[in-house]
Amino acid sequence: MINKTVTNVEEAIHDIHDGATIMFGGFGLCGIPENCIAALQKRGTKNLTCISNNAGVDGFGLGLLLATRQIKKMISSYVGENHEFEKQLLSGELEVELLPQGTLAERIRAGGAGIPAFYTPAGYGTEVAEGKEVRVFDGKPHLLEHWLRADFSIVKAWKGDTAGNLIFKGTARNFNPMMATAGKITIAEVEELVPAGTLDPNHIHTPGIFVSRIFQGEQYEKRIENLTTL
Amino acid sequence: MALDKYGIAKRIAQEVKDGYYVNLGIGIPTLVANYIPSDIQVMLQSENGLLGMGPFPTKDKVDPDMINAGKQTVTTIDGAALFNSAESFAMIRSGKIDLTILGAMEVSEQGDIANWKIPGKMVKGMGGAMDLVASARNIIVAMQHTSKDGQSKLLKTCSLPITGLHCVKKIFSDLGVFDVLPEGGFKLLERAPGVSVEDIIQATEGMLIVEGTIPEMKI
């Protein structure tokens, strides 16, 4: 039986090189690969191009890699909660490409689906449209957007099995399933790793074929950005 | 007296109808959820992958894996569904959302909206706003009528970078309710309690259309 298991986070990220393009799953701090991010910081891999909806917060998530200047470029849709990010952006240290969230999601989905480009109405008439082909469909202008692919995709799932199948929980799913399909090498860290045959195939969100390596994360802080209760 | 943000949210809640799928933006729009009448059924969509968003959890029910687009901890209601970000924007772009309520920094008399960037000052990003304004059928805006230093935010043309063109259908400000006409212009529909038509004319830079007697809004 195919076995995608690696023993630990160090083995999972061992070949991520300086200058790599990496997709990171997560929305805000929800569903981010905490263990891989911490290990990348420890390893000091630099000049990274990171594709992620957000850029973490100061001191957590991708904020860790920003603080150590390991990120050269970010491709994101919303980066509002990170002062270090704003500082590096305004000073010109950090390259940033901001995209409409749905365009970002679809470009990643396209990258993983073998679709090189598509048209979307989002961003027409805005800065996002600069340099992009415009075509009218059904009387409405659309922008040509290209697929996004990465050297590595790093995703976080709730449960996974040794065959690489993944199940996500709650809103921690977000960008993870699309990113899992769009990496040349996809690394999945999971809260619970079980033997193949344990998970019901009906419940799998990401089929194991998309996953190159899987391991169980040592611990998850799951920091909450805005705790709101009744 | 101009409305406070809760007053604006209360008035907007009257626009939400039974059976609607609704997307609420961050800020005043989020508050609208608190004032939706309890006798109607509404499904709130959160673009990070949740349809059927419920109220904030009680302290013992907090789940870090269950948040809304504002990264606040939330719950689900009966009939809720979870999905990935691509599917979430598929429902948005394909026009399945009945009502989209957004905040805005500026709106032009042509219905253009600016709400994502102040050059050199604030770079937060557009998040899902550009996808929403490009595709949603029914976009209404909750906003302050003027800036802190008294400048009108209902303009002839937006001065800030645009989020989307010709998309805003209706505006709910602290001073009143306005239709954005397809041919251009803000048509005054209602005044906030105690606010005069004269006050609104003074506070509006874009073309304001006032026809007949303007009723005071009921909230």
As a whole number of angstroms, the distance between CA A212 and CA A3 comes to 9
Where on the phi/psi map is residue B124: left (φ > 0), alpha (ψ -120 to 50), or beta?
Answer: alpha
As a whole number of angstroms, the distance between CA B205 and CA A103 comes to 33
What pLDDT does A89 receive? 86
As a whole number of angstroms, the distance between CA A140 and CA B166 comes to 12
ipTM, two decimals, is: 0.96
Beta bridge partners of A75: A51, A97
Where on the phi/psi map is residue B184: left (φ > 0), alpha (ψ -120 to 50), or beta?
Answer: left
As a whole number of angstroms, the distance between CA B122 and CA B119 comes to 6
Q: Which of A76, A10, A92 is nearest to A43 (CA)?
A: A10
Nearest to B71 among A102, A158, A225 (CB): A225
* B87 is an active site residue: no
Could you report the per-residue pLDDT of A106-161, keeping only the tens digit for each? 999 999 999 999 999 999 999 999 999 999 999 999 999 999 999 999 999 999 99
Task: Supply B109's token pair.
Answer: 């008399």
CA distance B90 to chain A (A): 8
Could you report the per-residue pLDDT of B149-186, keeping only the tens digit for each? 999 999 999 999 999 999 999 999 999 999 999 999 99
What pLDDT does B181 receive? 97
Catalytic residue among B47, B106, B109, B190: B47
Give this prediction's pTM. 0.96
| Residue A127, SS3 per DSSP | helix
Could you report the per-residue pLDDT of B67-114, keeping only the tens digit for each? 999 999 999 999 999 999 999 999 999 999 999 999 999 999 999 999
Q: Which of A167-171, B116-120, B194-198 has the lowest mean pLDDT?
A: B116-120
Mutate to test the interface with A, among B44, B50, B84 (most CBs of A within 10 A): B84
Largest CA distance in chain A: 55
Compute the half-sphere exposure of residue A211: CA atoms within 13 Å on the CB side of its CA. Answer: 32
Does A174 contact B49 at a Cβ distance shorter than 8 Å?
yes
As a whole number of angstroms, the distance between CA A214 and CA A11 comes to 10
| Residue A45, SS3 per DSSP | coil
